[in-house]
Amino acid sequence: MTTMQRPRAAIYARISRDIAGQGLGTERQVAECQALADRNGLEVVRVYVDNDISAFGGRPRPEFERMQADIRTGTVQTVVCWDTSRLLRKTRELEDFIDLCQPRNVDTLQVNGLRVDLSSSHSRAIAKQGMVYHQMESELKSERIKAQKRQAAASGKYLGGRVPYGWRKVDTITDTLGRVRGGQIVVDDPAAALIRSGTEAIVAGRSLISVTREWADAGAIGLTGNRMNTTQVRRILLRPRNAGLSMFHGQVMGNDWPAIVPLSTFRKMEAILTSPDRPRQAESKFRYLLSGVALCYCGAYMTGFGAPERRSYRCSVHQAGGRYIRGHANRAMGPLDHYVRSVTSHYLGRSDVRAQLLKDMQRLADSERPVESADIARLVSMKQDLIRRWTRGEIDDGEWEEARQEIVNQIAALEAVTKANGGNRAVFSALATEDPGAAFLSSPVEVQREILREVFRIQLRESGPYRGTFDPETVSITLKEAMDG
């Protein structure tokens, strides 16, 4: 007696979000699909489960793709799912699924509905119509989530994900997958102390590499578990959130996060670190007085290199592509440093230069706005109120966009003013002494470098071969235009 072979079936289960992380939702789907397969006399040969993966978000579904491959090879003759919305969520996916299953006579059964018939044009049209509603439902859900995130960002609320360095979550729960949920954001005191000291150090004229070293000595580590480099430290210091401002798509949206540093101090530090006068090269390479400060006659920055007894400055273009390139400046470090320090000390000690520099520093100080934080907070509050009115339908889209753009422009104008008021405390500290020249000479190299960068433009001139003696005519040292009045 010949035993008839039962049709080979595959079960597919999926859940978009598994909050508990235990796969219970997909387990229930598989159990009901197995029962349906048994009632229809099918032999389940494979079970495919995509847990915690949305079919609409664009992320790959490994198990779904594996099932499609098995359909192509004939391993699977029938697909069993709890509902077609678990299997497909886009009309484009349905078209591909029809092209895959129809030529191979692969059936699709669903627990929560009738058999999906793809054999005729009429039945395929019905299937496509149902998929249109599934896709619309997903799109509406996506729009609601995005609107909720915009509103949360406008209120300065935490949007989820990894907590930024400087804060931590409290009163939280951790699911079985190790994901943290719930709770609120508070300042993480040890990390916040480093952010405060780092911000104040930059404003005081210290270098980014010195701040990075202090963080490393204090045990600060990045996301990889290793000590942070200057790029990571710079990125952390430049976050507007440090000053209590949350950003959403590049715009200031709220200020409900607990601030770590005053907004005025943050803006001064931001102006220094983002100044076009600061070279883009890693600061760890700028250990010497004129590294990243002096310019070659080609316009590129000079960097220091060589053994202590033969140390010199050379144009950064020399290092392009790892090859030595002729036609750029190369100067002995010792004589050039000595000359620049002597000229700077003399300049700062002159009464007319000192008076002009103090006048410029005072102008910056007078133009600072101590109510800047309140101004931005007021505009952000207006923006939040505008969002609430638009959500309630009290204003239309045109009125919303016009008013929103006006507020955005006002915030941008305030930020531009505060950035221009950054100033440089290193220069002011030297000028505030009885002997600015001596104060400059006794300052650490990194502070001397900040003073040079702020006050002078130093550029080397073309010259012949080095003859063993320093020629002052080969270097130009001029006060910057802003300091010339």
Confidence category of residue 43, pLDDT binned at 50, 70, 90: very high
Q: What is the pTM of this model?
A: 0.45
- 284-296, pLDDT tens digit by residue? 456 788 888 899 8
Q: What are the distances in angstroms from CA 435 to CA 51, 235, 372, 430, 449?
A: 71, 37, 34, 8, 18
| Boundary of a domain, candidates 245, 274, 303 | 274
89 with 200, same domain: the answer is: no
Half-sphere exposure of 172 (CA within 13 A, CB side): 16
Q: How many domains does the chain have?
A: 3
Tell the residue number behind the tokens 């359909």, with chain if given: 71
pLDDT score recorded for residue 312: 86
136 with 159, same domain: the answer is: no
Confidence category of residue 268, pLDDT binned at 50, 70, 90: confident
129 with 246, same domain: the answer is: no
> What are 144's two structure tokens?
């609601």
pLDDT score recorded for residue 51: 80
CATH (domain of 193): 3.90.1750.20
161 with 213, same domain: the answer is: yes
Q: Is the pLDDT of residue 372 over 80?
A: no
- 220-239, pLDDT tens digit by residue? 887 777 888 888 899 999 98
Q: For residues 332 and 283, what is the distance between their CA atoms, to the nearest angstrom?
A: 21
Q: Is the pLDDT of residue 283 over 80?
A: no
Q: Is 17 within 8 Å of 74 (Cβ atoms)?
A: no
Q: How many CB atoms lie within 10 A of CB 251?
A: 16
13 with 66, same domain: the answer is: yes
* Domain limits for position 373: 369-420
> What are 257's two structure tokens?
């996060």
Q: Is the pLDDT of residue 419 over 50?
A: no
34 with 117, same domain: the answer is: yes
Per-residue pLDDT, averaged over 414-441, amounts to: 64
175 with 101, same domain: the answer is: no
Q: Is the pLDDT of residue 1 over 70?
A: no
Q: For residues 349 and 342, what is the distance between their CA atoms, to the nearest angstrom?
A: 11
CATH (domain of 45): 3.40.50.1390
265 with 197, same domain: the answer is: yes
Average pLDDT of the chain, as a whole number: 76
Question: Residue 427 falls within a domain, yes or no?
Answer: no
| CA 210, 215, 221, 226 torsion-angle sign | positive
Position 460, amino acid: L
Question: Residue 121 falls within a domain, yes or no?
Answer: yes
| Boundary of a domain, candidates 141, 172, 195 | 141
Confidence category of residue 173, pLDDT binned at 50, 70, 90: low
Question: Residue 204 falls within a domain, yes or no?
Answer: yes
The residue among 94, 118, 460, 152 whose CA lies nearest residue 160 is 152
Question: Residue 346 falls within a domain, yes or no?
Answer: no
81 with 187, same domain: the answer is: no
262 with 162, same domain: the answer is: yes
| Boundary of a domain, candidates 90, 113, 141 | 141
Question: Residue 263 falls within a domain, yes or no?
Answer: yes
Question: Residue 247 falls within a domain, yes or no?
Answer: yes
106 with 191, same domain: the answer is: no
- 97-136, pLDDT tens digit by residue? 889 988 898 989 999 877 777 777 767 777 777 777 777 7
Question: Residue 188 falls within a domain, yes or no?
Answer: yes
Burial 428-466 (b: 16+ CB within 10 A, else e): bbbbeeeebbebbeebeebbbbbbbbbbbbbbbeeeeee
pLDDT score recorded for residue 47: 94
Question: Residue 387 falls within a domain, yes or no?
Answer: yes
Half-sphere exposure of 224 (CA within 13 A, CB side): 5
- 289-337, pLDDT tens digit by residue? 888 889 988 888 888 877 777 888 888 776 554 455 677 888 888 899 9
49 with 110, same domain: the answer is: yes
